[in-house]
Structure 1
Amino acid sequence: MRNIADTIRRLNIQRSAKFSAFAPNLNTRLRPMSEFGSNPGELHAWTYIPSTTRPAVPLVVALHGCTQTAADYDSGSGWSDLAEKYGFALLFPEQQRSNNANLCFNWFATGDTTRGQGEVHSISQMVTTLADRHSIDRANIYVTGLSAGGAMTAAVLATYPELFRAGAIIAGLPYGSASSIPQAFDRMRGHGLQESRILANQVRQASDHQGPWPSISVWHGTADKTVDPINMEAIIGQWWHLHELSEKPIVTGLVQHHESRAWSDNEGVIQVEAHAISGMGHGIPIKSSGLDGYGTARPFMLDVGISSTWHIAKTWGLIGEQEAVSAERNAKSSAPSLTTEESRPVRRPVGGVIEDALRAAGLMK
């Protein structure tokens, strides 16, 4: 039975949600979504439905980072601009300070990252409710997020894989890598990460799902001092083992000057891809100009000449092929030429070689 203090806290949360959290916000085009289930994680939900809708609309779920709101994340990343142009729907779960003082999703808390419980269950309820209310194509639902939102993206993909076709984790951490605040800070520093096979088993044990698994895209700045880039390799390894892919990437090269790798399954379908953004710190890579430019520079929204929002949407097939070709041609023609040394890709397998190096450095158990 809940005590009086807990009951009062919950009543205050409900009153706040009713009278303030969903009040009209003149600085955003997002609209509040209410009554989406039991909401055990006590999250808020915001949506964007494009003016030009069609039957079977794709849906992108976007999870903000710490200190951000749904509106902040949308404005900085440019997701609703892209959705309006190409006609897909958006869902923005939003954290409350009563859950986390820094507005971080609780990606490290077992009660919020276990199927049927907490924040992951609230997000799944939002997805299914929105799909029921609108003409959402249930075969084309995607999820992405930054930092704590990226780690929660990994948690949602692990606990409710049947809901999503693909996900994109930006400056995040692998699912199941931490279960307490001290462990969370250790993992953010790159310490104590488990072997890829163990991390993959964490995903397998998170639900009774037998596959197919969502495909995954990972983005991380090479100069990230908040979440060590070694977490990108851990995420790659987790999903590489899950999909049972070959060790060596089938594609290595540069995308707008930044290293890109991809791994495909036996049918040649790319299931894991990774983008290491050279010299970028902690945040989302954006591009403020050009046909493929989306987002607005601000804290954790870093204008480094490449829009992860645009590229992720392209990977998911949300951008028309002709528009994608035109934008890429325009970006290529306006980019400075690379020297031979600059254009040489870095090739790194994700299996035994990397894990041996991590153990030698004391970064992996």
Structure 2
Amino acid sequence: MIQQKNSRQLTELKNFGSNPGLLRCWLYLPTILAPKTPLVVVLHGCTQNAATYDHGSGWSKLAEEKGFAVLFPEQQRANNANLCFNWFEPGDIRRDAGEALSIREMIGHVVVSHGMDPDKVSITGLSAGGAMANVMLAAYPELFAAGAIIGGLPYGIASGVGQAFERMRGHKAPSVSQLQLALTTAAIKLGDYPRISVWHGTHDQTVKPVNAEQIVQQWAGVHHVSGTPDVIETINGHSRKVWLDERGRQVIEVNLITGMAHGVPLSFAAEAPLGNSGPFMLEAGVSSTARIARSWGLADDADVAIAEDAYQRGPEFTAAPSGIEAVIAKAMAYAKPGPARDAAGRDEQGVGKVINDALRAAGLMR
């Protein structure tokens, strides 16, 4: 049930399920919602909420331009005083229990009620949200095509706050076999596991970078890859390693952002940046939002280039309101043929009608 809308165009949903984790739920839908729209689930970090994380990371802006939907679970202070998702509490990370079940219910409700593509659901998050994204990928692997964990931690490695802080600091790390056992016993999985993307700052003092290595080790077993990456490259000065499965598909990648502290790597120096600077939204010369979306088939090379200011506009370029070109393009893609041409060979409705309809849908024309 739609309850209210805030200034960021995130609509709060209530009555999406039993909600045992007592979480809030916000949804962003693009202006033109096509059949079988992909869904991205985005989990904020500690001290943040859905709106602030969206404002910083730029997910709803990209969703409007590219035509996918974004779901934002949100923590409440009654559950955690610092607004952290409880990735370290056994009752909140088991399949069909606590916060994990609440998020599962949100996803199921939105997919069914809006006719979204159940095979194109992905999840990402920062810090505690990144750890909780890993919880969802482990507990409900059949639900997701892919996931991106930013400054997060492996699944099932802590029980309680004290142990959580130890793991964040990289102390008393579990063995590889313990990491992989936690994952394989989280759920019964038949078929492919979701693809995994890991992003972490090399100078992260809040969640030590060793956690990024452990996430890779945890997922390497179910993807049947070795400890040696198949691709090693440098992207805008940062290290990227990729593991391919036996079919040659990318199943794991890790991006270590040189010199970055704890936060989301973005590129605010771009002329048209995706997202906004703020706490835990850090300049890195690379847009994790755009690159993650591209890896999920939701964006393309041009979107990444624009977000990172590598796109050179030609003299013929004319500025237009953000997202309008995409609105028109999507309307054209889903347009039905108009009436036949008139005696002079002109299209009486066709393209003009489609564009006008798109502008009306965007609220730019009456």
Q: TM-score range by the shorter chain?
A: 0.7 to 0.9
SS of alignment partner, residue 262 of structure 2: coil
Task: Give distance in 2, aligned partners of 1:31 and 1:289.
Answer: 30
Write the letter of the residue equivalent to 1:71: A
Pairing of 1:144-163 with structure 2 (within 5 A): 144-163=124-143
Q: Which amino acid aligns with 1:46?
A: W
User: Residue 25 of structure 1 corresponds to which residue in structure 2?
Assistant: 6
- After superposition, where does 1:137-176 map in structure 2 within 5 Å? 137-176=117-156
> 1:168 is aligned with what amino acid?
A
Structural mapping, 1:220-239, within 5 Å: 220-239=200-219
- Contact 1:292–1:310 (Cα < 8 Å) also in 2: no
How far did residue 257 of structure 1 move? Answer: 1.0
Alignment partner of 1:267 out of 247, 260, 271: 247
Q: What SS is found at the alignment partner of 1:194?
A: coil
CA distance in 2, matches of 1:114, 1:180: 14
Question: Whole-Å Cα distance in 2 between the matches of residues 181 and 148 of structure 1?
Answer: 12
User: Letter of the aligned partner of 2:298 in structure 1?
Assistant: L
Provide the rounded CA distance (Å) in 1 between the counterparts of 2:147 and 2:308: 26
Report if aligned partners of 2:80, 2:86 keep a CA contact under 8 Å in 1: yes
1:351 aligns with none
One-letter identity of the residue aligned with 1:55: P
CA, structure 1 residues 211+97, in 2 after alignment: closer, same or farther (shift >3 Å)? same
Conservation of the 8 A alpha-carbon contact between 2:217 and 2:227: no
Read off the aligned partner of 2:123 and give its amino acid letter.
Answer: V
What secondary structure, in the 3-state scheme, does the structure 2 residue paired with 1:139 have?
coil
What is the alpha-carbon distance in structure 2 between the residues aligned to residue 313 and residue 94 of structure 1? 21
**One of 159, 173, 178 as aligned partner of 1:198:** 178
Task: Please point out which of 311, 324, 346 is paired with 2:291.
Answer: 311
1:289 Cα deviation after fit: 4.4
1:277 aligns with one of 257, 267, 271: 257
User: Using a 3 Å threshold, how does the CA distance of structure 1 residues 79 and 326 change in structure 2: closer, same or farther?
Assistant: closer
What code does the residue aligned with 2:15 have? E
Q: Which residue of 1 aligns with 2:274?
A: 294
Where in structure 2 are the equivalents of 1:76-87 lying within 5 Å? 76-87=56-67
CA distance in 2, matches of 1:281, 1:328: 21
- Following TM superposition, by how much is the alpha carbon of 1:158 offset from its aligned partner in structure 2, in angstroms? 0.5
1:259 & 1:152 partners in 2: Cα distance? 24
Q: Who is 2:95 aligned against? A: 115
Give the aligned partner of residue 219 of structure 1.
Answer: 199
- Residue 104 (str. 1) matches residue 81 (str. 2): no
Matched residues, percent identical? 49
Q: Would the aligned equivalents of 1:140 and 1:164 in 2 still touch at CA under 8 Å?
A: yes
Match of 1:208 in 2: 188
Gaps of 5+ in 1: 1-17, 335-365
CA change 1:134–1:332 in 2 (3 A) is closer
Q: CA RMSD in A?
A: 2.1
Q: Is the 8 A contact 1:150 1:169 kept in 2?
A: yes
Q: 1:25 to 1:272 in 2, by over 3 A?
A: same
| SS of equivalent residue, structure 1 residue 91 | strand
User: What secondary structure sits across from 1:72 in the alignment?
Assistant: helix
AA of the residue aligned to 1:331: A
More displaced stretch, 240-249 vs 111-120: 240-249
Total equivalences in the alignment: 313
Letter of the structure 1 residue corresponding to residue 75 of structure 2: Q
